[in-house]
Amino acid sequence: MPQKRRSQSWSELKQAGNECFKTGQYGEACALYNQAIQLLERTGQKNKDDLSILYSNRAASYLKDGNCGECVKDCTKSLDLVPFGIKSLLRRAAAYEALERYRLAYVDYKTALQIDCNIPSAHDGTNRMTKVLNDVDGPSWREKLPPIPTVPMAVKEKLAHTGNLVPNAQQNGISQKEKKVPSGDAMKKAKTLKEEGNALVKKGDHKAAAEKYTESLKHNPSEPTTYTNRALCYLSLKRYRDAVRDCTDALQFDSSNVKAIYRRAQAYKELKETKACVEELNSLLKIEPKNTAAQKLLSEVQKNK
């Protein structure tokens, strides 16, 4: 049991809570964060950033303890204070998922990916929710989703500037997949298979080409062009959801990959996800303002709204 902490400042209580959390004492951590919140609120300073962090930290403790309902409440309070806090979004998404509130979980995972597309847990969560919702609601499951908020560019820039993104989501800009460096032999094999796939694409055999790219990725899963090439095949095969997934994987390695953005926009168009398609194309045109293919597709999509 901790000693009397009434004389401690809220920041000291927060630090003590962090230490308890690290050692797996989640109940004690909750109690300490609670004291810190009460103390900070009593000061009348109403420091939104500090309060938001405290609520998010307490939410993490609740989540670890299996108290998902309280986790959701604290994450929501944290996000009310500082909108689009990435840690709170991910924690609330995990809690919603555990509570089987899959639509809300999907929205939070997708919102987090708008802020930082290099978060493996958000990609994994989105994929899980997509499968579950498709099983539960059928092909029209997206029509039943709550609105997904658009994260303002100013928020993204602020978070990137302050470094307030997810720790360990990447290290020095390297995504998790890139850490697994293939051997020289594996790289050669992957390149050969990729070239065989390219030759099959030229012949119009997209199914066989996709299979070659799949084999190539088994040897070298960190080559973005192989993902975008397979996405092209999936578009031809009308496997639009698979195309989206491959483009998303490619963008984990290069968030400005124009082919990946464009092909994902094409897939969204075919899936009749107009809003997502328009967002992709606008994003692409910020990178390449004179990209005529993107301009043409955007005009076509907006005309058919």
Lowest mean pLDDT, pick from 2-6, 86-90, 293-297: 2-6
pLDDT tens digits for range 109-130? 999 988 888 888 888 889 889 9
Q: Are residues 108 and 209 in the same domain?
A: no
pLDDT tens string 132-163: 898 888 888 988 999 988 888 777 766 655 54
Are 19 and 153 in the same domain? Answer: yes
DSSP assignment of 97-120: HHTT-HHHHHHHHHHHHHH-S--H
53 and 144, same structural domain?
yes
User: What is this structure's pTM?
Assistant: 0.54
Quick one: 41 and 144 in the same domain? yes
- Report the SS3 class of residue 174: strand
245 and 220 in one domain? yes
In this structure, the answer to whether residues 220 and 260 fall within a common structural domain is yes
Task: Provide the residue range defining the domain that includes 20.
Answer: 10-162
Same domain, 108 and 185: no
* Nearest-angstrom CA–CA distance, 71 and 59: 4
Domains contained in the chain, number: 2
Most confident range (mean pLDDT) of 70-79, 152-161, 275-284, 286-295 is: 70-79
What's residue 47's pLDDT?
Answer: 81
Residues 158 and 181 in one domain: no
The region of weakest confidence among 40-54, 134-148, 223-237 is 40-54
Residues 204 and 291 in one domain: yes
For residues 121 and 256, state if they share a domain: no
Note the pLDDT tens digit of each residue in 167-207: 443 332 333 443 445 667 888 899 999 999 999 999 999 99
230 belongs to a structural domain: yes
Query: What distance in Å separates the CA atoms of residue 98 and residue 6, rounded to the nearest whole number?
Result: 35
